Amino acid sequence: MICPHCFADVSAKERTGQVCSRCTKRFALDPRIHGRGMNDRRIKRIAEKATEGGRLRMTVTQLWYLSRTSSGTSPARPARGIRPGVRWLVAAPLAVLLLVAGNFVPGVPGAVTVTAAVAVVVTASLMRFRPATRASSYITPSESQFRQMMAGPWAVAYGKPLPRVVDDGPHAPHPRTPPPARPRVVILCTDHAAAVFLRRNAIPARLDALLVEAAPGAAPEALADAPAGLPVVTLHDADALGALLAPLLRQAHPDRVVVDAGLPVTAVRTRRGAVHRVSSAATPSAADLRSLAGLSGADAAWLAQGYWSPLAAVPPRRLEAAVTAAVRRALAARPARSTDGFLTWPAEVPSPGGGPSRTKGAAAG
């Protein structure tokens, strides 16, 4: 491993206790302890690039997605084989019956019957049952592991968080900024990390926008206190509820322009390097997603199976650019254009490991 302080190549024996034996300085992350790719130089490099040298602030969640070393999904699998209880419910009585019959039948027929009983027991013992499994996803390191690294070893080694990286965890303080006196547009965001990113970079204030953060399921009701008639820009994950958000808002508020700046499913579903996750929550049917959200059959089926991609995985500069473009589009639009579809996102996707990891939002990134 390369020491982040003196840049010496130190072996495992030369960095015990997360202290470099060459320069005697403490570092935070050791790949041997914290996993492949988890080292101070790489994390600093990713944060430096994502914040554009300090121009932007980013959240720990955004840094986690960009710093991941691997991620993927496993499809749902049906049950295979016969359950042990059912198997032995049939095999045991049959074996006993054959053994009893074999004892009463003399000669070769009796021996064959006993052999058949043994064969039934052996076959039942060798049979295997695999229960059905749900679709699942993984990200390495996990979010909890990464947050522990930042709050534990990193804080011990450096005494402070990474520059321009803010904590967006559930217990972190989130200073509220006053809304603009005369907002011109509403940004409705259902992703907490993205909302913190926007707020900490004063993006809503710069765009004369009122930022409204809401849980995905409560987003349509969140506009109740927003000034009437203002255009709305929606920001959401590439998931089933997100795909339905703009169409539902257009139905509920026909007087508003609604621009969907959420992460489009088409941008991430088949994109290599995008973050794919699986939700255990109930999702709308593919038919509903096709008819209400206007999705293709493939996109609707993907979401209906519980797959989704996080908006927070989009590199910060691309998220900033997408929001800015969406606000301009909303201000320039007329209510008659509120039926427009998803905002077009940039197509470039960063690769995992050296910089922004295969972020799902990657179509956005």
What is the reported pLDDT for 353?
Answer: 46
What is the reported pLDDT for 343?
Answer: 52
How far from 311 is each of 114, 126, 170, CA to CA, in Å? 65, 47, 18
- 231 φ, ψ to 5°? -65, 155
Q: What is the mean pLDDT of residues 63-73?
A: 94
Task: Give the separation between CA 117 and CA 96, rounded to whole angstroms.
Answer: 7
Asked whether the beta carbons of 357 and 50 are under 8 A apart, the reply is: no
CATH 2.60.40 fits 35-76+136-337, yes or no: no
Q: What percent of the chain lies above the pLDDT cut of 70?
A: 92
Is residue 362 over pLDDT 50? no
Per-residue pLDDT reduced to its tens digit, 133-143 = 778 889 999 99
Per-residue pLDDT reduced to its tens digit, 8-39 = 999 988 998 999 999 999 999 999 999 999 99
Per-residue pLDDT reduced to its tens digit, 243-263 = 999 999 999 888 899 999 999
Which of 46, 48, 58 has the alpha carbon at shortest distance from 320?
58
- pTM for the model stands at 0.79
Mean pLDDT lowest for which of 83-92, 282-291, 298-307?
A: 83-92
What is the reported pLDDT for 91?
Answer: 86
**Which runs of E-coded beta strand occur in the chain?**
58-59, 70-74, 136-140, 165-166, 185-189, 209-213, 232-235, 258-260, 277-278, 307-308
**Strand 258-260 relative to strand 232-235: parallel, antiparallel, unpaired?**
parallel
Task: Give the separation between CA 116 and CA 121, rounded to whole angstroms.
Answer: 9
Is residue 339 over pLDDT 50? no
Indicate the pLDDT class of residue 345, thresholds 50, 70 and 90: low
Handedness of CA 132, 137, 140, 143 (dihedral sign): negative
Handedness of CA 240, 317, 327, 172 (dihedral sign): positive
CA atoms within 13 A on the CB side of 103: 5
Which of 188, 239, 229 has the alpha carbon at shortest distance from 212?
188
Per-residue pLDDT reduced to its tens digit, 191-206 = 999 999 999 999 999 9
Per-residue pLDDT reduced to its tens digit, 124-178 = 888 888 887 778 889 999 999 999 999 999 999 999 989 999 999 888 887 777 8
